[in-house]
Structure 1
Amino acid sequence: MPRSDPPAGLVDAAADGLHFHVHMVSDSTGETLMGVMRASVAQFPGVHPIEHLFALVRSPRQMERVLSHIEAHPGVVMYTLVNQDLRRTLEDRCAALSVPAVAVLDPIEATLSAFLGAPAQGKAGAQRVLDADYYRRIEAMNYSMAHDDGQGDDLASADVILLGISRTSKTPTSVYLGNRGIRTANIPLVPGAALPEGLERLKKPLIVGLTASPERIVQIRRNRLVNLGEEAPTSYVDAEAVKDELIHARRLFTRHGWPSIDVTRRSIEETAAKVINLLTEHRATLKS
C-alpha cells in the first residue's frame, strides 16, 4: 500500500526525532500560546516543534508579514487574537493554504461565558493589566529573594517557609513560588546550627520540609564542588554524613508536624504545585 504524503510543514525524521513548524500568533506577549503549545507537544515523544512566535500582532500590515512567513514555512498555526478582522484574515488564508489553525482560548472563553452569563471582554493583552495582583507578585518576588538561604527576618509575614538540607532545591522553588505571588522564605538545615528563634510557634506561614534520596544529594553536591574547583574529600559529600543529615531533618519535620516533600524525582514546578496544594489546605484550616 503506498505511503500517503506527510502534511505540509512536517519535516522528515532526523536523528533526534520528528520536526515540524508551529506558528504562534498573538496580539499580546505570546506567553500563553508558548505554554499551551509546549505542554501539548510534550505529550508526543520524539516530536520537536520548530517554533515561530509572532507577538503583539495588531495591524493588517503585521498580519501580512506573519502570513508570508506561514506560507513559506507551512505548519500548525495557534493563535490568540481578539480583533475579528485579523482573525478572519488569518483563518481564511490558513484555509486557503490547507494549514490547520487553532484559536486556543476559544473553548475556555466560551465555557466561562456560558457559565457566567456574560460575554468575554475582547481586549488584547487583558491578562497583562498592571493590577493589584501584578504588584502582589512583584512584592512576593522581592520578599522571596530577600529571604533566601536563611537571610532576612520577619518570617511571620511569609506565606511559606521551606526547610531542607543543602541541595534540596529550596532556592529555585522559592523563586518559582514568589513569581506566583507567594511570599516564600527558605532556611537551610545545617548540622549543629539552630533554627531561627520562634520558628515553631509561627501560625500564619506554612512550613514545609524538603528532602531527597541520599544518592541524589551526594551527586548534586559533588557536581557543585567540581564546578567550584574543590575536589578534596569532605563530609559535605560523604554518603553516611548525608544520610545523618536527612535523618535529622525528617525527625525534625515529624516532631513539629511539618509536612515534607521528597524532591528526588520532582521538577521545580511539581514541587511548587505540591506546596501550593498544601498552602490551600493550610489556609482553610486557619479559617476554620
Structure 2
Amino acid sequence: MRKKQPLATYFHVHLVSDSTGETLNAMLKATASQFNAAKPLEHIYALIRSRAQMERALAEIEASPGLVLYTVINPELRRLLEIRCSELQTPAISVLDPLRHAFTDYLGLEQTMKTGAQYQLDDAYFKRIAALDYTLAHDDGQMVWDLEPADVVVVGVSRTSKTPTCMYLANRGIKAANIPLVPTSPPPEELFALRKPMVVGLVASPERLTQIRKSRLGGLNAEAAVEDYSDLDAIRKEVLAAKRLYTKHRWPTIDVTRKSVEETAAAILTKLSARQNR
C-alpha cells in the first residue's frame, strides 16, 4: 500500500528588509527546502527606510500573521518592528545578527551600520557588470579568439547547462565563456592554447541527455533530420569523446547529471579558488 503524502502546510512569511530583500529570500528558500510539506506564502517588503513604510508593512503582518524575517539596520525601525511583533505574538528573527556579532567578536571591529552596503557602486559591482558583459559576448562558442581574458572556460556537449552555469558565475564576478562540443566539427584550436583561464569539462549521463534533448526537440517541433541529436547510442559516443578530450588535456571534470546550475557553479568556484590559492 502506498504511503500517503502529508498535506501541504501553508504559512505566511514576511520578509522585511531595508535593502533588496535578496538575502532574506535566499535564506527562506534554503530553510523551507528542508521541510517537504511546508509551503511558505511570501510577503516581501523591500527598501523599508522610513517609519511610514514600516507601519504599512506591520499592518500587513497583522492582517496575515506568520513568521517575520528581517534585515533592518536603523535602530528605531528595528525597535518598532520588534515591539509590534511581540505584541502580535509573532516570531521576528533578525537573520544576520548572529553573523554580525561573530564578526565583531572575532575581528574586534565596529560595524558600519550602513544600509545595503553590499550593493554599493564600487569596484566589485563594476567587476560583476563587466563579467556579465563578457559572458554574454562569449556564449556558445562566440569570439573564440578572445578567450584568454576569461577566468573560466566551460566545455561540454549540448544540454549540459553551460550557458546558465556561466551566467550564474558571471553574477558572482567571474568572466565565464563556454564552448560547445559538436560531433560534426572539432573544438576551436584557440581552446588548447589557453594559459590564464581554467578550462572545465561538463559531462552528464547519456540517458539524462537523451531525455532533455527529446524534450527540447519536442518543444521546437524539430524534424527527423536531427534524430542523432537525441539518439542514445549517438549521445553515448559524444559523451565518451568528451571524456577522452578532458582526460587528454587534464581538464577538471564535473558530472552535472544530478546537479542544479547552482551546484555546478559552486563546484567550479571551489576549483577556481583552489587553483588561485595554489
Is TM (by shorter chain) over 0.5?
yes
Q: Are 1:180 and 2:172 matched, yes or no?
A: yes
Q: Which amino acid aligns with 1:189?
A: L
- Decide which of 125, 144, 152 is 1:160's aligned counterpart: 152
Matched, 1:101 2:78: no
- How far apart in 2 are the matches of 1:269 and 1:57? 29
Q: Paired residue for 1:143, among 128, 134, 139?
A: 134
- After TM superposition, the score normalised by the length of structure 2 is 0.95
1:242 equivalent in alignment to 2:235: yes
Confirm or deny that 1:24 pairs with 2:24. Answer: no
In structure 2, list runs of 5 or more residues that go unmatched: none
Structure 1, residues 116-161: CA drift from partner, whole Å, max 9, x if none? Answer: 1111111111111110000000100111111011001311111000
Q: Secondary structure at the match of 1:270?
A: helix
Report if aligned partners of 2:6, 2:37 keep a CA contact under 8 Å in 1. no
Corresponding letter in the other structure for 1:21: H
Could you say which residue in structure 2 is the equivalent of 1:271?
Answer: 264
Cα distance in 1 for residues equivalent to 2:51 and 2:193: 61
**Where do residues 1-288 of structure 1 align in structure 2 (5 Å cutoff)?**
17-152=8-143, 153-232=145-224, 234-285=227-278
Whole-angstrom CA distance in 1 between matches of 2:89 and 2:277: 51
Residues 159/212 of structure 1: CA separation in 2 closer, same or farther (3 Å cut): same
| % same residue | 52
Pairwise CA distance, 1:200: 2.0
RMSD: 1.4
Alpha-carbon distance in 1 for matches of 2:150, 2:188: 14
One-letter code aligned to 1:71? E
Q: Write the letter of the residue equivalent to 2:141.
A: G
Question: CA separation in 2, counterparts of 1:282 and 1:110?
Answer: 32
Moved more, 202-211 or 230-239: 230-239
Query: Is the partner of 1:208 in helix, strand or coil?
Result: strand
Deviation for aligned residue 1:194: 2.1
TM-score using structure 1 length: 0.92
Q: Give the 3-state SS of the residue equivalent to 1:156 in structure 2.
A: coil
Q: Cα distance, 1:40 vs. partner? A: 1.1
